[in-house]
Chain A
Amino acid sequence: MNHIAPGARAGIYHYDEIDRQFVAERVEQFRKQVDRRLSGELTEEEFKPVRLMNGLYLQLHAYMLRIAVPYGVMSAVQLRKLAEIGRRYDRGYGHFTTRQNLQYNWIKLEDTPAILHELAEVDMHALQTSGNCVRNVTTDPFVGAAKDEVVDGRVYAEILRQWTTMHPEFTYLPRKFKIAISGAESDRAAVRIHDVGLLARRNDKGEPGFSFYVGGGLGRSPFVGKLVREWVAQEDFVAYLEAILRVYNQYGRRDNIYKARIKILVHELGLETFTREVEEEFARLRGPKYRLDPEVVEAIRQHFAPPPFEELPDHSDALERARAADPAFANWLAVNVAEHKAPGYAIATISLKPAGGIPGDATCDQMDLVADLAERHSFGELRVTHVQNLVLAHVKKDELYDLWKRLDDAGLGSANAGLIGDIIACPGLDYCALANARSIPLAQAISARFADPVRQRTIGELGIKISGCINACGHHHVGAIGILGVDKKGTEYYQITVGGDPTLTTAIGDILGPAVTETEAVDAIEAIVDVYLANRRDGAERFVDTLARVGHAPFKERIYAAD
């Protein structure tokens, strides 16, 4: 195969020949399976699980292909390939998802083997994006750059990728299995809503280790992950996870799809029993075979060595001049740019949430532009976030203004990261075969209503998250304001929850009252914001804190007063 390897850039893991051969073999295997399906040798019933294992779903209008972006990090070369595929085989755009992946919505079954072949040329694939396996491991989109980072999550995410890919015991779990890792003080990976959430820490000797949270998840029965062990040393990292997966494989329910996730097992066994089972299994497993060799960790860490940062003063005169001269840029800086650990550098979030736009969608031209900008300003790599945005992690402060102007010209300059306009919305009934209601139009109406950047900053940190059905792909349970689409006798209604929190203080939102129509929903959100602004202390109290202090009553009163 003709590989256009991502190049010796920082931050991207280099596949070796074993990885490449494996991916290539899978593509050829799938090509034959598609041929056999099209020729009638395989029935749909036989073919469907194979199709899903290769990331191909059937949606309302066509097939949907989900491409894995391992731990959300990719190279400019890879993004350009995604743009090329979107143009040639789809309709000129793609959708970045809360799983830090990319989905195309208009794929033909007969084209899929060719698409997978092209992806393999840049070390990409759709493996582990579907089915009851360990899914693509996610991590902090600021990994390797954040000032508050203690441990580099990519290293352990990559160890897990290698360890779980085709692991015979873990390809037929009771249900899908999602793992997230955060190695920074603030949790930007929503670890406690995953089947296993890992917080990487260092002990007083500076050695890395992990807190294990197990049994988090959203969907029909939302649960916050529970702390199963405070400290697992690096050498036991794989053994402990293997112990958890074994207990899950042994006791997890296979009779009822709604009760099959590990969150239900943890809930039904109780934390104490579950932990005891895991600890017993761990005690049995612990030994040379499962000990994570520090040399292996070091070899993988080499792949993620810091890029060649220049020695720069932390202060940038060019940046300060631009900040003073251009208020729109100053606003973007304040909202979308985060502190970097290297002096003179910064982390820039590229919002895929223009006011009135479709959250997470990017055109192929925009992808090409971001690839160019990643090459010019960020060592040729970029990240996908779980709030459906992109990140250039290593931008020189001197170059931020140039970057922003190019982004803004292409409709990518919105200053709303973390604000009310930064809405997560799943595809909903516009695309998804499982949906009860549309999600996107509501997101568009809300972001248009709150388009004014000054108003957004006045409101401050406030996440709105929308799902079109109880599967909760849009994370509505953990939205400060969550919206769930429901179907009432053929009409779309929306149920509003408040008080959700995706960070380390994870909380599942509470339902505020009866579901409302789409038009009412936009007004209701505005009413909630008004009540918050009228009640918040010191002009700075966060929405969730005001809500915790004043309770639901004033919000309910305002929204449902007319009833």
Chain B
Amino acid sequence: MSAKDRSKEGSMKAITANRLRDGEVVFLGDGGRWVESFAEAALFPRDEADGVLAAAKEKAERERFGVDIYAFEVVEQDGVPVPATMRERIRTAGPTVRTDLGKQAWGKQAWGNQAA
């Protein structure tokens, strides 16, 4: 299920990592696939997130795909799921002081430049 349909169900979590080979911020998407855009991130209810995270960590290390894997909180803002913290909003978009750089420059984040 995509970010858009799940976040309304209350407090949700998304799972993120940095891609090993280049450091790019990635999110766990549907079907255990990693995606570069938060818009395609899968959202998990709080009580499921821990289990998914453990499995994702194990798989990412085995496949040498991602490092620094963790779950973060997602809230709904104007009907759109957004990361709850400034830190995750910045990871999702790019530096607020260089809007020409990062995912925001490639249109890869769902919710406009809200970290700015």
Taking Cβ atoms with an 8 Å cutoff, the residues of A that contact B are 37-40, 43-44, 58-63, 91, 106-110, 358, 429-431, 435, 437-438, 440-441, 444, 490-492
Contacts and interface: CB of A to CB of B under 8 A. Distances in A.
Contact of B20 (A91, A109, A438): A109
Given A61-B102, A438-B96, A108 B23 contact: yes
A429 B84 CA distance: 15
Interface of B: 18, 20-25, 61-62, 64, 67-68, 84-87, 90-91, 94-98, 101-102
A38 B20 contact: yes
Given A58-B68, A109-B21, A431 B95 contact: yes
A91 B67 CA distance: 22
B85 A108 contact: no
Nearest to A107: B23
Nearest to B103: A61
Contacts of A429: 86-87, 90
A108 B21 CA distance: 6
Contacts of B62: 40
Given A44-B67, A429-B86, A492-B86, A62 B22 contact: yes
30 contacts: A37-B64, A38-B21, A44-B61, A59-B23, A60-B87, A60-B91, A61-B23, A61-B24, A61-B102, A62-B24, A63-B22, A63-B23, A91-B101, A106-B101, A107-B23, A108-B23, A109-B22, A109-B23, A429-B87, A429-B90, A431-B95, A435-B87, A438-B86, A438-B96, A440-B97, A441-B97, A444-B97, A490-B84, A490-B85, A492-B86
A407 B61 CA distance: 49
Given A38-B20, A108-B23, A441 B87 contact: no
A62 B23 contact: yes
Given A58-B68, A110-B21, A441 B102 contact: no
B91 to A, nearest CB: 5
A444 B97 CA distance: 9
Given A40-B64, A109-B22, A60 B97 contact: no
B90 A60 contact: yes
Nearest to B88: A60
A60 B90 CA distance: 8
B96 to A, nearest CB: 6
A115 B43 CA distance: 38
Contact of B96 (A91, A109, A441, A490): A441
Contacts of A108: 21-23
Nearest to B101: A91
Contacts of A58: 18, 23, 67-68
A326 B86 CA distance: 45
Contacts of A61: 23-25, 91, 94-95, 101-102
A107 B18 CA distance: 12
A245 B69 CA distance: 37
A496 to B, nearest CB: 20
A77 B23 CA distance: 29
Given A39-B64, A108-B22, 14 more contacts: A37-B20, A38-B20, A44-B20, A59-B23, A60-B87, A60-B90, A60-B91, A61-B23, A62-B18, A62-B22, A435-B87, A438-B96, A444-B97, A492-B86
A220 B5 CA distance: 43
Contacts of A63: 22-23
A43 B57 CA distance: 12
Contacts of B18: 58, 62
Nearest to B95: A430
| Most chain B C-beta atoms within 10 Å of own C-beta, residue among A37, A44, A431 | A44
Contacts of B84: 490
Nearest to A64: B23
A490 B88 CA distance: 11
B90 A430 contact: yes
A496 B115 CA distance: 24
A91 B100 CA distance: 10
Contacts of B96: 430, 438, 441
Contact of B22 (A40, A110, A430): A110
A37 B64 CA distance: 8
A59 B90 CA distance: 12
B109 to A, nearest CB: 12
Contacts of B68: 58
Contacts of A435: 87
B63 to A, nearest CB: 8
Nearest to A56: B23
Nearest to A106: B101
